[in-house]
Structure 1
Amino acid sequence: MTKKIRFSLILIYCVAITLLFLPFMKQVLIIYRTQTVSIKPIETGDVSENVPLEAVQPPDLTDVLAFENKQTFYSTGQIIIPKVEISLPLFSGVTNEQLLVGAGMLFPERKAEKQNIVVIGHHLGQNNLLFGKLLNAAVDDPIYLEYQNQFYQYKVSQTKLIQQTELEVLENRNKAEITLITCDKPTHTEQRFVVKGELVQQPTKKSRQKLLQETHLIQKRNQQKNLIYCIGVVLLFLVSLLIGIRLITKISQ
């Protein structure tokens, strides 16, 4: 086998392996690039333009590469679901960059005490990333919302799968509730997974302190799991390349 053919086979193999690992490498890039962002809480946020639900789709590689390191994001609170280990900063409005860091509110002008709070986030395939574990939420699980220095406790009342055109879940029924929405799978899809929660109470100061401590542990565990995941993906990618190149070289001799 000539050197030219051997080189062509190695090149084809490398391209094939890279394409195979591309979805996983995209997750690694998101984890790596968002590690250096700074989240600063603010008491009030500007009401941004409502974004249609169908406009929210998983980011492609271009979006991830365009994400700038060491940015500062201003959050109006956070969303916490201890049972599925979700703890994310919450932003008023929705932008592509914000959804790579946390969750966004579609109607930030609404009042949590008497209206439907709608929160959306990405499901990118990696459980410990963003809303990846939302699909594991179950009825009666507690949901905690911190919004503009106020804490609210909800109880999951319903989980369901809907079409992206079923916008009734976004409507305000003059009822204190929360609606969490993400894609049903980490690819372009027309379906959404919805978690509905009813307002139970505002946590006491003691329970709030306990919740914040638990939130810190959740964030720390997710960071550790994401780090292990990144190392595993990179090592597996490199080993696959080396083994393949070595086999092609050996066979072609």
Structure 2
Amino acid sequence: MKLRQVIGILFILAAIVLIGAPFLKYELLEASSKKLTAQALTPEKIQQNNEQPAEFNMEAIEPPSVIDSVVQEAQADMAAIVGQIEIPSVNLSLPILKGTTNENLMAGATTMRENQWMGVGNYPLAGHHMNRDDLLFSPVLNVKVGTVIYVTDLTYSYTYEVTKTEAVHESRTDVMDNTVDPMITLVTCYGSSDREKRFIVYGKLKETNEYEKDGPVSN
């Protein structure tokens, strides 16, 4: 085979990889978020996970590459799961993992500071906004005032109602500060074209119920 033909084949293979890479990345991320669920654990294990130290790196909120997705598929860790979040109106259901790291962000929603607890003060969660509307925290951009958010630690199920949404600069780290009143704050990138903005969802606690083992988060 002539060198020119070999080079031509290599270019074709490279083009196929480049075209297929985004689809592969999305499939891996979707598989990771579905594989890790709080319901696969016990309440005792969830509590144990929440008591472990974690890393919090806000600079980690960047779109993952295909390589990142492959690595995460191998490193996904059940020991980081501390709960589950569901927003039925936008078809979002994700594990909550302790610590804002690249690995955790590629598996679900992540807590944003040490010593945050569901139903107590501000409970901030971060997540990736992808170029696919149904993946990770992308559905959060469709959340409106009045939307209901459910989170659980498998002991209790907490119901929050959205009171406000806004776009802010990424420097607004005060959105994760603790509060006296129980609330939830969801943080994700505003869009793929403007990485300096964050879309923020605020919700207030409306109800706390005992979690039913065989029921949904929104029971």
TM-score range, shorter chain: 0.7 to 0.9
Q: Distance in 2 between the 1:27 and 1:43 partners?
A: 27
Structure possessing the higher radius of gyration over alpha carbons: 1
User: Which of these residues, 51, 59, 75, is aligned with residue 56 of structure 2?
Assistant: 51
Which residue is equivalent to 2:41? 40
1:82 aligned to 2:88? yes
CA contact (8 A) 2:167 2:197 kept: yes
Residue of 155, 163, 169 corresponding to 1:163: 169
CA RMSD of aligned residues (A): 3.1
Q: Mark the CA change 1:35 to 1:110 in structure 2 (over 3 Å): closer, same or farther.
A: closer
Q: Which runs of 5+ in 1 are unaligned?
A: 216-253
Identity of aligned residues (%): 29
How big is each residue's C-alpha offset from its partner over 1:138-181, in whole Å with a ceiling of 9 and x where there is no partner?
A: 11000011136121111011111111111121112312110011
2:195 aligns to what SS in structure 1? coil
Q: Which residue of 2 aligns with 1:31?
A: 30
Name the counterpart of 1:191: 197
Aligned CA distance change for structure 1 residues 26 and 53 (closer, same or farther; 3 Å): same
Contact residue 181 and residue 192 of structure 1 kept, 8 A = yes
What residue number does 2:116 align with? 110
The superposition leaves residues 90-144 of structure 1 with CA deviations (integer Å, 9 ceiling, x where unpaired) of 1222332222222111135134444100111122222332212111111100001
Structure 2: gaps of 5 or more residues: none
Equivalent positions of 1:1-20 (< 5 A) are 4-20=3-19
Paired residues for 1:166-245 under 5 Å: 166-186=172-192, 189-203=195-209, 212=216
Size of the alignment, in residue pairs?
A: 212
Q: Shift of the alpha carbon at 1:83? A: 0.4
Contact 1:124 1:187 in 2 (8 A): no
Q: CA deviation at 1:59?
A: 1.9
Task: Give the number of the structure whose residues are more often helix, by fraction.
Answer: 1
Match of 1:63 in 2: 68
Residue 26 of structure 1, CA deviation: 1.5
What secondary structure does 1:76 align onto?
strand
TM-score by length of 2: 0.80
TM-score (norm 1): 0.70
Q: Secondary structure at the match of 1:128?
A: coil
Task: Give the 3-state SS of the residue equivalent to 2:191 in structure 1.
Answer: coil
SS of corresponding position for 1:57 = coil
More strand, by proportion: 2
8 A Cα contact 1:154 1:200, kept in partner? yes
Cα 1:76–1:148 shift into 2, 3 Å: farther
What whole-Å deviation, never above 9, does each CA across 1:65-85 have from its counterpart, x for those lacking one?
A: 223549550322111111011
Deviation at 1:37, TM superposition (A): 5.3
Equivalents in 2 of 1:190, 1:4: separation in Å?
46
8 Å CA contact 1:43–1:148 kept in 2: the answer is yes
**Distance in 2 separating the partners of 1:144 and 1:34:** 17
User: In structure 1, what is the Cα distance between the partners aligned to 2:181 and 2:218?
Assistant: 29
- Contact 1:153 1:199 (8 Å CA) reproduced: yes
